[in-house]
C-alpha cells in the first residue's frame, strides 16, 4: 500500500487594517493556544471566505459580461469564389478564383456552364469580422 502525502495548506494571512481579518486571526490564535483544532480550522475557513469576498483573494480570474457586436471589418474586402462540383463520377474542380465582388464569379459560372454544361457549383463567401465593444449610452 502506497503512503499518501497530505499537502498542508498554509493558513490565510490577515490583511493589515481589516477588522474582520484581525478578529478571525485572534480567534484562530486563541483556539490554537487552547488546543481547539476545530475552532482553529473554522477560523481559517471563515477568513478565506471573508478574504475571497472582501479582498478578492483566491480569484485568479474575474469574468464579467461585456457586450460586443460582431460586425464586418470595413478595412478588408470580402471574398467571393465558386468551384464546379459537376462532372461524371468526380467533381470537375474548376474554380473561378477569388474576387472582391460576386459579379465576376457569377460570370465565370455562366461561361463555364456554356462550355461544359456543368450546372452545379460550390460557392464561397468569406469576410473579416471584428468585435466592437458596446458602450452604454451616457
State the pLDDT at residue 138.
42
User: Collapsing DSSP states into helix, strand and coil, what is residue 24?
Assistant: helix
Claim to verify: residue 80 and residue 128 sit in the same structural domain: yes
User: What is the distance between the terminal CA atoms of the chain, rounded to a whole angstrom?
Assistant: 67
pTM confidence score: 0.47
Range of the domain at 121: 69-133
> Domain tally for the chain?
2
- pLDDT bin (cut points 50, 70, 90) of residue 110 is very high
Residue 3 maps to a domain: no
**120 and 73, same structural domain?**
yes
Whether 39 and 89 share a structural domain: no
Q: Read off the C-alpha cell for 24.
A: 478571525
Q: Say if 1 falls within a structural domain.
A: no
Given a contact cutoff of 8 angstroms between Cβ atoms, the answer to whether 49 and 16 are in contact is no
Q: Does residue 64 belong to any structural domain of this protein?
A: no
Closest CA to 127 of 85, 69, 67, 70: 70
Are 76 and 129 in the same domain? yes
How far, in Å, CA of 47 to CA of 14, rounded? 8
Amino acid at each position: 500500500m502506497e503512503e499518501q502525502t497530505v499537502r498542508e495548506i498554509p493558513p490565510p494571512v490577515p490583511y493589515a487594517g481589516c477588522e474582520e481579518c484581525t478578529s478571525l486571526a485572534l480567534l484562530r490564535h486563541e483556539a490554537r493556544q487552547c488546543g481547539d483544532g476545530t475552532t482553529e480550522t473554522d477560523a481559517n475557513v471563515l477568513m478565506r471566505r471573508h478574504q475571497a469576498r472582501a479582498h478578492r483573494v483566491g480569484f485568479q480570474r474575474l469574468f464579467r459580461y461585456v457586450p460586443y457586436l460582431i460586425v464586418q471589418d470595413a478595412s478588408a474586402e470580402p471574398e467571393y469564389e465558386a468551384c464546379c462540383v459537376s462532372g461524371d463520377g468526380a467533381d470537375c474542380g474548376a474554380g473561378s478564383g477569388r474576387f472582391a465582388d460576386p459579379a465576376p464569379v457569377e460570370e465565370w459560372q455562366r461561361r463555364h456552364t456554356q462550355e461544359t454544361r456543368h450546372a452545379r457549383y460550390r460557392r464561397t463567401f468569406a469576410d473579416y469580422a471584428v468585435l466592437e465593444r458596446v458602450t452604454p449610452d451616457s
